[in-house]
Homo-oligomer: A and B are copies of this chain.
Amino acid sequence: MLTIETLLPSDRDAWERLFRGYIEFYERTLPDAEYDRAWRRFQAGTAIHARGARDGDRLVGIAHFLIHPHTNAADVCYLQDLFTDRASRGRGVGRALIEHVANWAREHGCGQLYWRTHASNTTARVLYDQVAEHRGFIVYQRDL
């Protein structure tokens, strides 16, 4: 049975394993201190938010998200990070996390939920095409 819940202090290690898997998927590395900082902010739950997917007592997926303003509509919710444990793929973990965040965002007055993915990530996009839409928008970024 899959449940989606806030993360408890006892989830700290399991959460970090999953978040490291996510960071590695995009071939990035983070200083250890960033994991500490992120965890503290998730526990505070003011600026950024996290949820975990639990299969029995095992943490098998995570979602990180935040709300930000919009210049011409209601606030929007950005689902920044989403990751499912490799061993738990194909069982609806990602979908359950997305639906949970969508409900949470709606209850918090958001008019839209969005996220990014790499165009080449076709496996994830099969799911994303079922629960959301790619309307042709792409991201340009510049490190400052």
Contacts and interface: CB of A to CB of B under 8 A. Distances in A.
A3 interface: no
Interface residues of A, number: 54
A68 B68 contact: yes
Specify the main secondary structure of chain A where it touches its partner: mixed
Interface in A21-80: 23, 30, 34, 38, 41, 47-48, 64, 66, 68-73, 77-78, 80
A34 B111 CA distance: 14
Interface of A: 19, 23, 30, 34, 38, 41, 47-48, 64, 66, 68-73, 77-78, 80-81, 102, 105-106, 110-120, 122-123, 125-126, 128-129, 131-144
